[in-house]
A and B are shown apart, each in its own frame.
Chain A
C-alpha cells in the first residue's frame, strides 16, 4: 500500500498553476482528495459507525480490493489497510461496533474483515456476484444480508457457512438498503421489494415501481422519530422517487424528481439524461445527496421538495457517496461507471475519492409551502 503523499493535493492537477480553477476538472469543487485511491473504479464507500472514535472510510473497487483510510480532523487521510477478493468488490459495510467490515464481490463470496487482526474470512457464498451487503443488528439476532445477481437474498450468521435464511427474489438484486427493521431491495426489471426484519427477515411488500426505468440505487430514510419510513429510489433515467411505505396520502406524499440531466432550460439540443449512481441521506438533517453519471453531486431536501445545491461537473462520473456518522463529511468517488460502455473506459485514468465538509450545505431549507 502506498503511503499518502504522492497524489494528494488540494485541487492541484497537471496545470502547474497553483489553485487554478478553470482547467482542473477532476476536482472542480476543490474538495479534499483521499490519498492512495484505488486503481480502478470505486464501487462503494462507507464510513465507520459512531461506535468507533474518529472517522474511518472504506472503499471497494473494481481492482478487487477494499481499502481503509483514517480520516483525520485536519482533513488528512491515512491509508490503513487493504484486503483483496478474487473479483471486483461491489459493496462493503461496517458492523455496528466498527470492528468488522463486510465486503461483497463479483467472486460470489462475501468476507468479514476483522480490522484489528487485519484478517478476512469468507462468510457467504452465492451463485452469482454479490451486489449488496448489509449488517443487520436486531434485538434477537445479528446477521449479514447479501443480495446477489443469483436472485437470492441470503442472511448469514458469520459463524456458519450455511445461510440462516435464503429468500428468493423475482430478479437479480441491483441495490439494497437496510435500516432496522426495514430493508428494501430493488431488482432488475424494476422490481421493488420491502422486507421487514423483526423477529426474522420476511418479505413485507412488493411495490410497483414508481420509476419507469432500470433501478440503480436505493436508500432508506427515517422520520422525525428516527424510524425508517420510506426510501429514495434512483434509476438510470436521471430520476429519483421518494416513496413512503405507509403514507397518509400516497398520491400527495410520494413523488419523483428529475436530476442529473444536462441542458436545463435549453430545449434546442437533446437533453442528456444520466443515471443516478448512488443516494445517501444525511444522518442528522435527513436531507439527501445524489451522485450521477454526469459527474455531479446534488443535495436535496425531500420535505421542502427543493434542491439545495448542485456541484460543478467533474470529468468522470461519480460512482459512490456516503456521509460519515455525524454528517460532517460527505465522501464521493470519481471514477468511470461504464455509462458510455467499454469504449470510454481508460484504465490509466486516475480514480479519486473526495471529502467535503457537509455540515452547512445539507441543512434543510425552511419549508416555503
Chain B
C-alpha cells in the first residue's frame, strides 16, 4: 500500500492551490482551495454551507487548458457528461494541476483504483457480494423445471475465461460434451441458459458465434445441445444480432453462423445491432449535439439524427421485443448470439427479460439481472467504460453498450411508468457507477478477473450501499404496482425519447421536473397517511363499540 501511495505522490505535482474559482452547471460559482489527492479532486471553500466538489479522478474523461494572460482555465469533462471549469491564477500552478489530473485520471492499473482504497462510512446491512450468487438463482430455476443443471465445468475459468464458474446447461449433457462445444464457440462461450419462461417452459440461451469458418465446420455436440433445449415437435429461433453481411464476413475470421441445414429445427433471424466503435462514435456525436449552443432547431435535429443514438436504441429494443415475442407469443425457444456474445447479445437477453419477467422490474430483480446478464455473463465493463463521450484518445475497446441497455430500460419505464419498482434515478446511478465508482462491482472484465482481483474481499459492492433503506427510498418508484404481465414497449420513433435525465442533465435545469416528481410523491404519501389514520380510527371506533355494547354510533 505504501508504495502505491508513493506512486500517487509522484504524480501530484502541486497538491494544493488557493483561490481557485469553480464554475459548474446550475450551481453558484465557488472560490476555494483546490486539493489533489490520489483519487479525488477536491475544492473546499471552507464555508460550512457551500457545496464542495469531490470528484473522482476516474470520473474525468478529458481535460482542456487554456490561458488568458496568467489566468489559467481548466475545463474538466466527466464521464457522467458533466463539464466543470476551474480558474487558476498562475501559469505554473495551472500546468501542474492540469498534468497531475491528466496523469491521475488515466491510471490503467486496476489495483490502484479507488475501490481498493475506499472504506465505507455506512453500515453494511447485507454484503452485496453475496446477494446474487448463481447457486441461489439456480434454486429458483429448480423450482420450475428439472431440465437444467448447474455445471462446474468452468470452475477454474479454463474452458471459457469470460464465463462464471457456474453455468446452467441442459441436464443431459455432461461436462465432457460441454468442453467439445466450447471449442466450437467464440471465446469458448458455449450455449448456456439465460432465461426460463415459466408461463410456457420456453427458454432463452446465449452463446458466442459458432466457429464455422469459411469451410462450414460443424460440431455435432453443439447441434445436439441446442436441439436438446427444444420440446418435441417445437421449433426454435436463433437471433443473430449482426446483419447477415456482417455475419458472412465473420466467417473469414473463423467465425460464422449456424447453417439451417445443420440446425433444421431452428430458424435464424439476423438483426443489425451496432458494435464497439460505431456505438462510441454515436455517443460522442450525441453528446456533442446536446452541448451545441447554436440554438438552431434544424441543426439540433440533424445532429441528433446523425448521431444515430436513437436508431441504436430502436434497433436494440426491436431485437429484444423479437426475442420476447418468439418466446411468449410463438411459444418457441431462442438462442441469441452476435460475435463474442458479450455485448449486443447481453443487451437483447437482458431487455427481453425485462419485457417478459415481472421479477426483473423490481429493485432486487434488476440488480440480479445486471449481475447475471452483465457482470457474470462477462460484459467487459472495464474496457467498455474506460472512456466516455469526451475522450480525446483513440477508442480502443470503449463502447456505451451498457448505457444503451439502460437507455432502453428507461424507454420501457417511460411507457410503463407503474410497472417498475425502481425509478429513473436508479438507472442514472448505474450509469455513473459503471463509469466511475468507489465500489468494486463494475471493476474488471469478467468473473475470472474479479476473482483474481479478490474484489469481494478488497472492495465494497455497490449493492451493499444501494440496498439500505435510505438509498432504496430515493431509488424506489412511488407509482409501482406489481404487474405480472408481459409488457410490450412501442418501438415507433415517436415513442422513443431522448433520455434527458442523462444527456441533458447538465444542460438544462431539472428543477421543475424534480418538483413535479416531489408533488407526485406527496400526493401518494398523503394518501397513505390518510389511509393509516382512517384505519386506526376505524379500529378505535370498533373497539369503543365492543367495549360498550349498549352504545351504538348514531
Q: Are A and B interaction partners?
A: no
